[in-house]
Amino acid sequence: MTLDRRAFLNACSCAGIASPLLPGILYTLAAQAQDAGAGSETKPPELAKITPEMLDQAAELAGVGPFTAEQKKMMLEGVNDQRDAYAAIRALKIGNNVQPAFVFHPGKAPGPNDRTADQRPGRLSESLGGNIAYSSVEDLAFASVTELAPLVRAQKITSLALTQMYIDRLKRYDAKLHFVITLTEDRAMAQARAADAEIAAGKYRGPLHGIPWGAKDLLAVKGYPTTWGAGGFEHQSFDEDATVVQRLDAAGAVLIAKFTLGALAMGDKWFGGRTRNPWNPEQGSSGSSAGSASAVAAGCVGFALGSETLGSISSPSTRCGCSGLRPSFGMVPRTGAMALSWTMDKLGPLCRSVDDCALVLETIAGPDGKDLSAAAIGFEWDEALDWKKLRVGYLKSEFDPRPPLKLTQAPPGESAEDKKKREDANTEMQAAHARRDYDRRYELAALDKLRAMGVNLTPVELPRLPWDAMVPLLTAEAAAAFDDLTMSGRDRLLTGQGIEDWPNAFRVARFYPAVEYIQANRARTLAIRQIAALFEQVDVIVTPSTEAQLIATNLTGNPAVIVPNGLRGPDAPKPPLIDDGDHDDIGGPGTPVSITFLGGLYQDAKVAGFARAYQQATGFDRLHPKL
């Protein structure tokens, strides 16, 4: 049989094939398979590169577009890479008994252990820090919650005074750091006055009572805009507070600001500019919990909430020198938060210490009966945890020396333009290699410190799986979450319009086949099983805050605690002139580094307890930028 292209496409259309699967590629596969079959029964078809014409045909069949020539040019690399990822998943040869890594709960009703948004947490730690010396309220700017809470409870300082001090600092430093989208000043002053009155009357709610905090502006707060950091959403508002906001209100915490995030939770660029790193304001704060990390690090708020889908708590905590706790998936309900990826989004605290993170997580954890993914489990902080009994592993290959750098060599007949591109790429590779080698000394020092603490470290490795090939799950869900932006053309209002930005990523994701989405989720099930098996061998894993574990554990939903691990010295490699926002190790002299501790699913308190022990032994959380 000979294949006719037009007849083939018409047949697809008549057959109702209106999925995002590329019809041009269907035809190419069929034609090449026919050619291959003529001479061999086993030769697999070679896939032709996807062309702009194929995108046009596929867009028409899928009912999207039309796309401009520039948009298609940006899409081609992503669509071809996305298709290459299918092969990595298919190579796993997943058996029929492996289910996808998602569960649908239609009409799920709250269970007996579910807590409602206005309930106080069952138990808050009362063992707080000792007295802190200060001569003015400004001296408390960098104090931890565990230091502030006893002062507020004893009425040595008022919530109103703290609130006014932090609001003044936000106003003072916002021009330099660009971390505030909306000040909630009226709400905050009312809450602070109420907290002081309650405490004076002996009605103390717990360690967060009267403590000022800030919310990443993807959390709904009634009466104020919730912008998601994105152009076109500047005036968006909702009529109900997010569950976590309600819970912090119930604990007596004082919301003073809604902080910046990269547009639709990507990076640190938002519709008002770019949020800056307090240690080096020439650079971004990383993202997407950009404002939350920057404000905490700058001593402009007691604590903050952020979110992570693929690095958005870890990265800004690393860049800004905060303590971040990314909870297990499902530990904290996301009701009232912007959805980016329903199977990966997580809400968590960014604070000045692990102790503070634990106090906040204990307050916001537990299902609310609305978020179908929220687990019927809370966070139970145990300060008496005997961390010396924990089995501790470390990702050996991530601490090992890197292999020698192989620079790209000049091909025959290289043009002057291509030569410059190659040389520029080699220069960047050399710089990145030097930065990584420099930071490795801090990571090795962390292992030495742990051994000095009496920790027996067991070498472990992540399962060998095609982790990168599962990442399109995120963009597919994100494209669905923001379907209207692509279909209406409102994606042009977003700040970023480059090849790595959401508008292009959403368009590329339209061509991710439903079958491949499900196959990648089944591969994710294998990943969850294998990571769970790893945590049967150890309780905690120590790792650099690098991409390998970051992708893996966000896909599997495991918790992570990120803590400061010192400051780079004056001999550190100088930062690049341009911060592309893609790397957290470019700070240069005098900027923070971090170390990460991973735990088993819902073992958040255990991994936080171990991270707390390391933090108390090192004291790096006491380092602050000089603004």
488 labelled catalytic = no
Residue 522 DSSP SS3 = helix
Sign of CA dihedral 557, 563, 564, 565: negative
Residue 485 DSSP SS3 = helix
Which tokens hold the place of 279? 């240690």
Marked catalytic residue, from 312, 315, 328, 353:
312
Q: Measuring CA to CA, how many Å separate 592 from each of 50, 274, 320, 553?
A: 43, 19, 7, 23
The answer to whether the CB of 592 falls within 8 A of the CB of 567 is: yes
The answer to whether the CB of 605 falls within 8 A of the CB of 382 is: yes
Could you report how far apart the first and last alpha carbons of the chain are, in Å? Answer: 74
The answer to whether the CB of 348 falls within 8 A of the CB of 342 is: no
The alpha-helical segments, DSSP class H, found in 15-144 are 23-39, 52-62, 69-90
The answer to whether the CB of 268 falls within 8 A of the CB of 284 is: yes
Marked catalytic residue, from 72, 216, 258, 346:
216
Backbone angles phi, psi at 457, to 5 degrees: -90, 130
72 labelled catalytic = no
The answer to whether the CB of 539 falls within 8 A of the CB of 600 is: yes
Query: Measuring CA to CA, which residue among 333, 323, 295 is closest to residue 215?
Result: 295
Q: Could you tell me whether strands 346-351 and 323-326 are parallel, antiparallel, or unpaired per DSSP bridges?
A: antiparallel
Marked catalytic residue, from 159, 285, 288, 307:
288
Backbone angles phi, psi at 383, to 5 degrees: -65, -20
Radius of gyration of the chain (CA): 25
Contacts of 116 (CB under 8 A, 6+ apart): 110, 368, 369
216 labelled catalytic = yes
Catalogue the active-site residues.
216, 288, 312
